[in-house]
Amino acid sequence: MKIGIIGAMSEEVEKLKNEMVVEEKVDRANMTFYHGELLGKEVVIVTCGIGKVNAAVCTQILIDRFGVEKIINVGVAGGLNKDIYPGDIVVAENLVQHDVDDTVFGYPLGQIPRMDTFDFQCDEELVEKARNAIDKIEDANGFVGRVVSGDQFISETEKLKFLGEHFNAYACEMEGASIGQVCYLNSVPFVVIRSISDNAINGSHVDYEKFSPLAIKNSVAILKDMLSVL
């Protein structure tokens, strides 16, 4: 089995790369893909960059160039549920692109026109393995639910409240749903995992300098645990 791992932060990729046997380094679309072995599994690890287009291009390269059979994406998101706090982790059950708006033609907000699905479902087995990995992490609560994505950095509390309520979403970020769309179109199982950096709904936040090392540590721990059981 060949597994693609998409990291949001270069530090995540660097830590994993230092523990893997790199057999090939490939540069494509201004991204560097590290292909090799980690914990006895064949993996391709890459940082995709910010935004839906970067994430989609990265995902398609993983599928076309490297033939990955599963994709795991880790990164950071803002919380949209009042019970979620910085340091907690959300595993996406499904994802929606909240900035797709063709409501003028009668589509619901978030529906991509002429697609046969509203949301992009994560693989149940990968979701379960991610959830089990989170249970082993101290001082972090795990949640499973919808994540919404858009090419917008949203700081307005009212907009965040709207997204949480309208989509019944747990977290908001900028890449996951586009990864989900590409995986859906290619019939590749995937999961999206997000460390929560802040939550305007309950007014909680943490300094990024304090949060970043924790998010990286947790992401690496989750990925390693998942690889050990896949």
Catalytic residue among 101, 198, 207, 209: 198
Catalytic residue among 12, 88, 173, 175: 12
Tell me the DSSP string of 106-162.
TPPTTPPTT-S-SSEEPPHHHHHHHHHHHHTSTT--EEEEEEEE-S-----HHHHHH
Our answer to whether residue 175 is catalytic in this structure is no
For CA atoms 154, 157, 159, 162, the dihedral sign is: positive
Our answer to whether residue 198 is catalytic in this structure is yes
Other C-beta atoms lying within 10 Å of the C-beta of residue 225: 19
Residues 111 and 113: their CA atoms lie apart, in Å, by: 6
Strands 2-7, 70-79: pairing is parallel
Catalytic residues: 12, 198
